[in-house]
Chain A
Amino acid sequence: MSDDCYGIMVYAAAGGPSPTRATLELLGLGRTLAAKLASVRGHTPWVAAALCGHGVEEAARSLAGFADRVHCYDDPALAVYHPGRWARALARLAARYRPEIMIFPTGCVGQETAASLAARLRTGLASHAVGLDIDDQGRLIQLVASFGAGVLGEILCPEHRPQMVTVTPGLFSPAGPLPVPGRMIREEFPPGDDLGLSVTGVEEKTVSPARLEDAPLVLAGGFGLRDRANWQALEELGGLLQAPVGCTRPVLDEGWLDDERRMIGISGTVVAPAVYLGLGISGSAHHTVGMDRSGYVIAVNGDSQAPLFRLADLAVVGDAGDIVREMLKILDGKKSPD
């Protein structure tokens, strides 16, 4: 146990000159935990943000409005994500500043960096936490969704430091600006062995589908659609209604869709649209944690006992595939001249 570890460090994912909502949510969580630690110990630990990239100094400066310190690596070697270099940069911060808690956002870079770093530091990591708390001994309690529906499990890391966790953004309130902005500290990217891994090119995605997080109407399909043809009908419906289409894990497992980022749920994307329309989704906890703050919920399922109906403002008992096809027919009829 490292009693000398103190403070909370949040990894800030890159994304434009001003802080992303996800980063602010993580800083908000960090500050809540700091306040709880203060009530256990009588003094408030620092909350810092860590940033890696090239040309990110402006982003680091604006981030300093929300954290006690911002540790900024701004180096040409970090222009493109390189797992080994990211782990090296953050391992140096962990050794130098000895945080007791490190929080990462879920997402490709956050998840991979947290895993590598935890192994490098020989400490514990919990993933996809939906809540964090502090116990009466000042230890971090990480709440994760267990396999069963309707149950959350606590995970502790009693003896190893830092206590590491990835958190699903979208579930927490963003931090507001601090009365006195924090300091921005320029960190020196440590030279080291890349183990024969090098970046040879980058391609930005040109066509990105409408983001699930931002849409006023989100459609979501599950295994209750029964087959790939019905899933494709749902994609077509999404096109006609100009709404992004998300899915549950079985849709990926069945191979109807090959895009993990469109999974709505704890280990995927969290949505809170004005209107959510779920088709053939039974409503496992994994999925519902990712959508239960939607404004108006319409659920369609053949099974009148489907748990998703408990969250529904409008529950339609019927075959999701058939209903999607009928909706397409109606919309097609409107489109074509009489």
Chain B
Amino acid sequence: MHITVLLKPVPDPGAGRTFDPVSKTLVRQDRPVVINPLDRSALDAAVALRERHGGRVTVLSLAPRETAGVLKEALALGADEAYLVSDRCFAGSDTLVTSFILSRAVVATGPPDLVLAGNRSSDSGTSHVPAQLGEWLVWPHLSHARVLRTGDGDPSALIVTTELEDRFIHYRLDLPAVVAVTGRREAPRHPTMRDLVHARAKPVTLLDAAALGLTPAETGLAASPTRPGRLIPVDRPAKRGEVESGPPVQMAALILSRLHKLLLKG
């Protein structure tokens, strides 16, 4: 089974939020780029499927060249081959054009039996791209996938359970298909030193517009239906409420008595 995983480099959600243990306040720092957490779940799921059924895992990232490091990390985490889809003319692509470029890249590097991605990214989080990629490819697609496994005795099908607000739905999909996963895996793999050394030897192949047979007019801001407009600052006046500080036990009692007063006085 050939599985392609879409990886988006995002600012490290954990960085910039480190705590100083003494002052117990936030320490601001530069935010390095990491694999979007849910894409990481998708990669782990792909590697697990390969371990059960054989095949290979390709990782694909549409991103600026400086962020190729996340693809190296993905190779260390078990991906077999990595492609960076990058070109200056891709800048400003909205989700429709992003998913179009990705559809070209998915076909050019396969086409695979299955595309896996995270359900949303931790930075912009529109969650459009997996569904839109499925539409461009004219493959069946599902978002919000919690559980996936190959079809019982049928290697050309996938059994997927999605989670909506109030229910779980079970689906059967014919491959090839696009599936976006939600939820974190309990025990994410961590690369060993050996994995990292091996990964260093593997190449990250660059795919630019020409390699995908795309013209600048088909990509980037030029081709995108949506346009960013003005930025509007929203500045709310501060409420200037009561400010308290003191030992935790005293603050805890203050909050509880306040809750009591607000909610129970009837």
The chain A residues found within 8 Å of chain B, CB to CB, are 80-81, 83-84, 87, 107-109, 111-112, 114-116, 118-120, 122-128, 141, 143, 146-147, 150-160, 194-205, 208, 216-217, 223-224, 226, 241, 249-250, 252-255, 258, 260-261, 267, 274-275, 277, 282, 285, 292, 296-298, 300, 302-304, 309-319, 322-327, 329-331
B254 is an interface residue with CB less than 8 A from chain A? yes
Report Cα–Cα, A202/B25, bound state, in Å.
Answer: 46
| Contact (Cβ within 8 A) A327 B252 | yes
Complex contact A157–B226 (CB within 8 A)? yes
Q: Is the CB of B255 within 8 A of A300?
A: yes
Q: Of B128, B164, B172, which is within 8 A of A125 by CB?
A: B128
Point out the residues of chain A lying under 8 angstroms from B228, CB to CB: 153-156
**Known contacts A154-B232, A315-B241; A80/B169 CB under 8 A:** yes
Task: Provide the bound-state CA to CA distance between A292 and B176, in Å.
Answer: 45
Q: Is B164's CB under 8 angstroms from A81's CB?
A: yes
Q: How far is the CA of A122 from the CA of B259 in the complex (A)?
A: 51
Q: Which of B24, B37, B225, B231 contacts A319 (CB 8 A)?
A: B24
Counting from the closest, the 4 A-B pairs by CB-CB distance are A196-B174, A154-B229, A124-B225, A326-B252
Q: B183–A258 contact, CB under 8 A?
A: yes
Q: Is the CB of A197 within 8 A of B233?
A: no
In the complex, the answer to whether A253 meets B165 with C-beta atoms within 8 Å is no
Q: CA separation between A330 and B163, bound complex, in Å? A: 37
Provide the bound-state CA to CA distance between A198 and B134, in Å: 16
Give bound CA distance, A298 to B143, whole Å: 36
Q: Which residue of A lies closest to B133 (CB)?
A: A119
Indicate if the CB atoms of A124 and B94 lie closer than 8 Å: yes
CA distance A127 to B99 in the complex (A): 15
Can you name the residue of chain A whose Cβ is closest to the Cβ of B23? A302
Neighbouring A residues of B235 by C-beta, 8 Å: 150
Is the pair B248, A116 in contact by a Cβ cutoff of 8 Å? no
Majority secondary structure, B binding face = mixed
Instruction: Kindly provide the distance from the CB of B63 to the nearest chain A CB, expressed in whole angstroms.
Output: 16
Interface-lining segment among B12-20, B75-83, B84-92, B201-209 = B12-20
Interface centre among A120, A151, A160, A253 (most CB of B within 10 A): A253
Contacts of A200 in B (CB 8 A): 159, 170-172
Q: CA A157 – CA B96 in complex, angstroms?
A: 12
Known contacts A158-B227, A241-B259, A326-B252; decide if A127 and B126 are in contact (CB<8 Å): yes
B144 at the interface (CB under 8 A from A): yes
Cβ of B188 to closest chain A Cβ, rounded Å: 9
Chain A contacts for B238, CB-based, 8 A: 309-311
Contact B239 A312 (CB under 8 A): yes
Q: Counting CB contacts under 8 A, is B26 at the interface?
A: yes
Q: Is the CB of A115 within 8 A of B248?
A: no
Interface residue total, chain B, C-beta cutoff 8 A: 87
In the bound assembly, the distance between CA atoms of A302 and B251 in angstroms comes to 12
B123 within 8 A of A: yes
Which of A116, A158, A197 has the most B CB atoms < 10 Å from its CB?
A197
Query: Do A253 and B122 have beta carbons less than 8 Å apart?
Result: yes
* Complex interface residues of chain B between 126 and 182 (CB less than 8 A to chain A): 126-129, 131-132, 134-136, 138-144, 157, 159, 162-174, 177, 182
Report chain B residues within 8 Å CB of A313: 239, 241-242
8 A Cβ contacts from B218-266 to A: 224-236, 238-239, 241-246, 248-249, 251-256, 258-259, 262-263
A126 touches which of B131, B170, B226, B262 (Cβ 8 Å): B226
Q: Determine the chain A residues whose CB is within 8 A of the CB of B157 once the complex forms.
A: 196
B184 contacts chain A at the CB level, 8 A cutoff: yes
Tell me whether A159 and B225 are in contact (CB under 8 A).
Answer: yes
In the complex, A125 Cα to B97 Cα: how many Å?
11
| Pair A314/B241 contact, Cβ less than 8 Å | yes
With A258-B184, A277-B255, A316-B255 as contacts: A208 and B166 at CB distance below 8 Å:
yes
Is there an interface contact between B171 and A197, defined as CB atoms closer than 8 Å? yes
Of A83, A224, A255, A274, the residue contacting B141 (CB under 8 A) is A83
Q: Do residues B234 and A330 form an inter-chain contact, with CB atoms below 8 A?
A: no
Among A109, A120, A125, A150, residue most surrounded by chain B Cβ atoms (within 10 Å): A125
**Interface check B95, CB cutoff 8 A:** yes
Residues of B within 8 A of A158 (CB): 227
A310 with B239: CB separation less than 8 A? yes
Can you list 17 A-B pairs, Cβ within 8 angstroms, ordered by A? Answer: A111-B143, A115-B128, A119-B131, A119-B132, A125-B128, A146-B231, A157-B225, A202-B167, A202-B170, A250-B14, A274-B262, A297-B239, A303-B26, A312-B241, A317-B245, A319-B24, A326-B248
Cβ distance B259 to chain A, nearest Cβ, rounded Å: 6
Q: Are A277 and B259 in contact (CB under 8 A)?
A: yes
Q: Check: B124 CB closer than 8 A to any chain A CB.
A: yes
